[in-house]
Structure 1
Amino acid sequence: MTEITRAEVCAAACADAWRDAGEVLAHAVGVVPSIGARLARLTTSPDLILTDGEAYFMSEPPPLGRTAADGGVVEGWVPYRRVFDLVASGRRQSMMGASQIDRYGNQNISLIGDWRRPKRQLIGVRGAPGNTANHRTDYWVARHTPKVFVEKVDVVCGVGNDRARGTKGLGFHHLGVVITDLAVLDYDAEGRLRVRSLHPGVTAEEVRVNTGFEIDTSGAGETRLPDPGELRLIREVVDPRGLRDREVPVTR
């Protein structure tokens, strides 16, 4: 078997975020999270609901990069309006991206700079507030740098732990993990990001240097490697075209 790549380690870590999630809709933003959701569905979370990325629920999704017409098994149709019902009811678990994220998990995907005169316009707030107010939300960061992990986000899109504590009427808030190309992060008792595990070959100093705020690495273990069965699924079933290595290159 060929050497396990960083992208495959990240994919297995993403799959673990949906472990035993039950019958919820997996919302995955990015190539590696999409692999992770499919891998979880085929291993630890058989009740996880997947889509083809458009309007179909899939019991057996097609390989990454293909549509329902190219393979897989369709088990239902979900028009866009029904997605809002799923979000509002909490029957979804999301892994979103983050252009910026701070120590408490406040996330920005909207713009960089002063919102009145931004330096760069991004995709907008979109569904981030609803996600973080209604169901578990995890984050995926393909490149762990101080430009992403910042002291203060320019705009709050996804609600962080500090803001959630001070928001009246927010009945639910659950931030899970942040998975990056360097590590798996979770939150301490105060709601601050910390390093849960370092990917093989990554040092604690490397993570500290690439994080724009002080972060606790004292309890970090090593991120697990995907087992042979998971590797076979990733390489032969879920992502035979190797799209994962475009998002997380073999060497950084």
Structure 2
Amino acid sequence: MTSGKGGVGKTNISVNLACLLARAGKRVVLLDADLGLANVDVLLGLTPEKNLFHLFQEGAELADILMPTPHGFSILPAASGVGEMLELHTGQKLDLLESMDSMDDRVDFLIVDTGAGINENVLYFNLAVQERLLVLTPEPTSLTDAYALIKVLKAEHGVERFRVLVNMARTPEAAREVYAKLHAACDHFLSGVSLDLAGVVPFDPGVRAAVVRQTPFAVLDPQGPAATALAAVARKVTSWKGATQLDGNIKFFWKKLLFQN
């Protein structure tokens, strides 16, 4: 999962998508890749004893960090408020890749919840995956920042394929309009970029209540508008096929389908 700006619900979508995939019988790990401002654990009401800081700075093993949740999936938590995590150096990136490879046969889906924006870590994780699920909302700033992220990945790294999820849409028309504008801008200015609308999650007051209770909305209100819409996206995800030719500078992050929210 990725986004051009914060506040679009990317992490919440990541958590609930992990929950829904796990409910469908998939083995899921959610990597909190917002390394310096992590909040996956907060949304789940969990307090990890260790996180990726301990992997990079204290020699911990990935198995020491991997934390099961009550919802059938596991998380790899990151640190919050730790400056050393804001930019990974090359050795740390390679360490993470090697650690991930050891889990290959035990996971069906790895969801990578990136930070927002276009900093080095965000770009790194976008390059490291086969599927990019770009979350945006029907707001001008969200649209502008989503386009900026696509532009950087296309112009500087040759990434051309994106899936789009419109979140917090007040109406279906608003969702279609923002997607159409993003598609038109990419078609006009970024030749070769492919955008696929993966789904629309409507505005749902129950989502806020779930955040306050630190429980996935797919658990708290499984028949609610947001959970129902995201369940349809989860069904699509299980049918996605990995890219036959990997793009980007990092050719393999995992040997199974990887995607970002």
**TM-score normalised to the size of structure 2?**
0.36
Higher strand share: 1
**TM-score normalised to the size of structure 1?**
0.37
